[in-house]
Amino acid sequence: MAVWALGINHQTAPLDLRGRFAFALDQLPPTLERFRATLARRPEATLLSTCNRTEIYCASDELALEPTVHWLAHTGGVSPQELLDHAYVLQEGEAARHAFRVASGLDSMVLGEAQILGQLKDAVRVADEAGALGTTLHQLFQRSFAVAKQVRSSTDIGAHSISMTAAAVRLAGQLFEDLQDIRVLFVGAGEMIELAATHFAAKNPKAMAIANRTLERGESLAGRFGAEVLRLSDLPDRLHEFDAVVSCTASTLPLIGLGAVERALKKRKHRPMFMVDLAVPRDIEVEVKGLDDVYLYTVDDLASVVQTGKDHRQAAVAQAEAIIDAGVQSFMHWMQQRDPRAGVVGLIRDLNTQADAWRQAELARARKLLAKGEDVDAVLEALARGLTQKMLHGALAELHAGDEHTRAHTADTVARLFLRGGPRA
């Protein structure tokens, strides 16, 4: 089986490019089906999409990197070359290592953060339910979960970490003298908004409101924090009431435009607004950042803030990498054992290596004899005799060893290998 991974993340691709390849969880099953239908052998596949990364993992009896690149590029509306300029393409052990590092939080913007493990588990579950997960990827991801658990329990990789949402609260605290005097609006009602609301609620702001496309979900979340519920259609008329806005939805188009923010600022008499856009693609138009009285942060802007405490965690990275190395070796061993050709391929490689070593040794000996002026025919005779003895030594030793049954079996094998016939009487 061939295993490969193709992806872009916060380290390799800008936010707007990542936005082209963002998939909501409910989009994954049909997207996986479309991808698998483009390849003749319908590979195993899992698609991971978060605000910081989009990655597709595949396994099949035939490597299909080029079709995978072309499919993902077409899906995002870019050329294959533009995608490859920002992507990483990994195979076999390196693909497994990447999956293990992602699950363990070593490849995250927030080193050691735990949220990515839940997101990866969701992606694997959806792929499994969609019938796209086979034995190989099941093993890969189950082992990645086990490695992540060991990393988290055996090292301090998650210590001193600060989440994106906690970073947002910290930045708000730098802008406003007292967070108890501000009104906060949350746009969306997913996991990131729930985390953000939890962090802001701990600061006891003057008021909180949640705007969501589905009122039922918005009301459920608002009930936990004593927040008001708004419709998304209410945003243009109510935006000016809020000092801080945190948005994270699955919308493919911006929900908060430049004009709406300009009108809100005018009504606020240009009192500053703090805005955080955690969505990929963007929820807030990029031009908003150019307004004088708006402090707009995206997921990429929060990078320097969330690195606080990173130095304290670096000592644990080496321990985590060692755990991951062991996991990769175990997975690759499992892969090799499943391949009926693996033993034969390895044996052929070892035989060729041994034969080449014998050849080099005899050639070196012959050259020394020739340099001393020895007769050419005698040197060639010695060369041939030396190679013959080396090649037959193992077989002859086995024929003289063991019991009668073993010797008979060895004799039959040696005859088939060297005489191309039955054993001689």
CA 388 → CA 29, 90, 375, distances in Å?
62, 44, 20
Task: Compute CA 151 distance to the chain's CA centroid, rounded to the nearest angstrom.
Answer: 16
Sheet holding 228-231, edge to edge: 228-231, 207-212, 183-187, 244-247, 273-277, 294-298
Look-up of token digits 């044996």: 347
Whether 248 is a known active-site residue: answer no
Look-up of token digits 């001193």: 160
DSSP 100-156: HHHHHTTTSSSTT-SHHHHHHHHHHHHHHHTT---HHHHHHHHHHHHHHHHHHHHS-
Cα–Cα distance, 53 to 55 (Å, whole number): 6
Select which of 51, 95, 157, 179 is catalytic: 51
> Which residues 6+ apart lie within 8 Å of 371 measured at CB?
none
Q: Which amino acid is at 44?
A: E
Cα–Cα distance, 379 to 50 (Å, whole number): 69
CA 212 → CA 115, 218, 223, 259, distances in Å?
22, 6, 14, 20
The reply to whether omega before 80 is within 30° of 0 (cis) is no
Q: Which residues are known catalytic residues?
A: 51
